[in-house]
Structure 1
Amino acid sequence: MKLLQVILIVLVIYVSVRLILKYYGASIIKWLGKKAMQRMSRSFEKRSGMSTDDLFNQQQGSNTNQKKVNNPKEKKTVGEYVDFEEID
């Protein structure tokens, strides 16, 4: 009896997943594509220091009147430089 219940549950889950993918598969793939593009865009912005909107505005030429604020990174001073001379 338990084996029959397990087989029936697996069969119901399989059929329901197939039906969901049949009717909503295209929209799910579109949604996943959008999310992947957003992640790639965020990682690009993080690495380049610019947002994709800034890049688009530069390409359109409408960013020429705006001042861009540069935030230089802090320079860490580790110590002072010592020049050694060789002794023969």
Structure 2
Amino acid sequence: MSVATKTAHIDHVHVASTRRPLPAGRPRSWYILHNRRRKAMRLAIALLDSGVYAPGYATDRKIRTAAEAAGVRQPSEATCELVRTLLRQHR
């Protein structure tokens, strides 16, 4: 008896709310981390919408495919790891 694999396609993309300017006066590293977290959150939402709920199934390839579908630049390895961390915290 074989198990059929179910592939979910992203039929819609979470639309980000209107952007507000970031607060001034913070160190550059804060802005980099903040933007990485926003990107990771957007990708995590796209993965959850497509049916990927466990971090073990969120491979770099799936995360990068979700980024393509969401219209986001290709994430780095650090961002992919942050996406998996967010999915782990979801559970």
Please give the TM-score of this superposition, normalised by the length of structure 2: 0.31
Please give the TM-score of this superposition, normalised by the length of structure 1: 0.32
Name the structure, 1 or 2, with higher relative contact order (CA <8 Å, separation 6+).
2
